[in-house]
Structure 1
């Protein structure tokens, strides 16, 4: 955590967080292919929608009215999203936020990201899904600590 950074205060901060996060996610060897090859995500088209989602999640100020589950279900039908994939998403999400912000909203964004990842994984893989991931001791792999310290 960057204890000298300001908290996430609104849409402009979310735009920066999300741009940095998706740049890392697109380049990530584990989860990048979901965005680039499978979904063919256009970041510039995706950013306003996902910023609406996070702005509504954190501040209740945006009108996000899409089904967030449907695109994940479509990806899962092409290539299964595993606990390790969601764990990697959470690692990158935490590292991005910790590298830019600190405070109650930043902590809430990280906690909300974890809840979303867990909920999506359970809905996709079933309520008895293995939440440990491949070769990890928990839903968020311990390597997240290395990412956080490198941010």
Structure 2
């Protein structure tokens, strides 16, 4: 596929559409879906404006997001521990959501940022564990996505 023909992420609407696609995949995913649907019982319509603010601030350099992204994940982790496999799958689904639909510097920053966010959250959540570290987190740039997974 010619990635030069694909649009970059340039607007809040681009982000919202990508996030809706991502959450459809995440909710249906057998590994991380239960965190959204059963543990957090995430109301997507209530969550979407806030998570769009987060990504808009991170990627389009706005000041839309005011909050602590780690706090809800820490609360979730206290109920059902989040592992390297969960964060890895989150990154994998986010990258797959963007690939084939967007290309350009902001899109690449979105993919890179997701990996850094996942590693940082995992590191901070694991800080209280006796093992510490990254729990075996493997950068997903080294993982090849198989079709349909």
Per the normalisation by structure 2, the TM-score is 0.89
Q: Does the CA contact (< 8 Å) of 1:6 and 1:102 recur in 2? A: yes
Q: 2:75 aligned with 1:74, yes or no?
A: yes
CA root-mean-square deviation: 2.0
Aligned residues: 144
Distance 1:130 1:57 in 2: 26
Residue 61 (structure 1) shift: 1.6
Matches within 5 A, 1:16-31: 16-31=17-32
2:88 corresponds in structure 1 to 87
Residue 129 (structure 1) shift: 3.0
Residue 141 (structure 1) shift: 8.4
Structure 2 gap segments, 5+ residues each: none
Q: Cα deviation per residue 1:63-93 (whole Å; 9 max; x = unaligned)?
A: 2111110100011001110001000000000
1:101/1:144 CA distance change after superposition, 3 Å: same
Residue 99 (structure 1) shift: 2.7
Residue 2 (structure 1) shift: 6.0
| Worse overlay, 54-63 or 115-124 | 54-63
1:123 corresponds in structure 2 to 124
Matches within 5 A, 1:44-59: 44-59=45-60
Distance 1:141 1:21 in 2: 18
